[in-house]
Amino acid sequence: MNALTEHTIPAVGTAMLGGFFAGLVNINGQTKGIIVAPKSTGEYEGKWAESEARIEGAACPVDGQQNTLDMIAAGTALGKWVKALDIGGFTDWHIPSRDQLEIIYRAFKPTEDENWAYSGVNISSVPPHNLYTANEPKQCGVEAFRAGGTEAFEAAWYWTSTQVGEASAWIQHFYNGDQYGHWKNLFTYRARAVRTINLSDLTI
């Protein structure tokens, strides 16, 4: 029996553990759950950092928790914001990695618009995913996360905690799923805090 069959996995959008269940990710061979923060208390709008200088670490495509610790150590704007969060009694919020945010897009795509079919490959997702098609993933089935809903992601760019190159970080657009690397200190984008949870804590 594998780890997944030993646990009852919540439905996407289930309210729990300070936020909402978004899906599963493989981090260093261990399956973890992703909890997305409520929009009212866990969404940011601003720069990733005040400088384009590359910081030590914060480059892992999957481990957003470690990336965020690196961001906090470097004093980045986004790291400072997430470190201060206390939502639902939990203080271990972090910025999702590139692969974690991709899982979140698949779970909570807010609109009916066609996807950018050159993004979406995610070997860290459980199960792994290939490129998007124009119509997959579809608009989220959870009403609160659909466009206009109380928890809905904006049809806008969202930061990840994963640096790319010397001066940029990965971002993803929640209009069509496009994934891209962009300057950390020049542009104002959004971010949604998450928690990374052991499977045993996800049992409902």
**Containing structural domain, residue 157:** 4-202
| Of 173, 137, 180, the residue nearest 155 (C-alpha) | 173
Computed on alpha carbons and rounded to an integer, the radius of gyration of the chain in Å comes to 16
Instruction: Judge residue 135's burial from the number of C-beta atoms within 10 Å of its C-beta, 0-12 exposed, 13-18 middle, 19 or more buried.
Output: exposed
pTM above 0.85, yes or no: yes
- Of 3-7, 47-51, 109-113, 115-119, minimum mean pLDDT range: 3-7
Per-residue pLDDT band for 7 (boundaries 50, 70, 90) equals confident
The predicted-structure confidence for 14-31, as pLDDT tens digits, reads as follows 999 999 999 999 999 999
Distance CA 67, CA 163 (A): 9
Distance CA 59, CA 57 (A): 5
The predicted-structure confidence for 161-201, as pLDDT tens digits, reads as follows 999 988 999 999 999 999 999 999 999 999 999 999 999 99
Distance CA 95, CA 30 (A): 19
Cα–Cα distance list, 95 to 11, 91, 158 (Å) = 22, 13, 10
Long-range contact pairs involving 177-184 (C-beta distance under 8 Å, separation at least 24): 177/102, 177/105, 177/109, 177/115, 177/116, 177/119, 177/120, 177/132, 177/137, 178/116, 178/118, 178/119, 179/98, 179/102, 179/119, 179/120, 182/157, 183/52, 184/47, 184/48, 184/49, 184/51, 184/52, 184/76
Work out how many domains the chain is built from and give that number: 1
Distance CA 112, CA 166 (A): 35
Is the pLDDT at 1 greater than 70, yes or no?
no
Instruction: Judge residue 41's burial from the number of C-beta atoms within 10 Å of its C-beta, 0-12 exposed, 13-18 middle, 19 or more buried.
Output: middle
> Do the Cβ atoms of 37 and 108 come closer than 8 Å?
no
Q: Looking up tokens 């984008």, which residue turns up?
A: 189
Q: Tell me how far the alpha carbon of residue 11 is from its chain's centroid.
A: 17
DSSP 145: G
- Of 36-45, 64-73, 119-128, 194-203, minimum mean pLDDT range: 194-203
Average pLDDT over residues 45-57: 95
Paired sense of beta strands 30-36 and 43-46, if any: unpaired
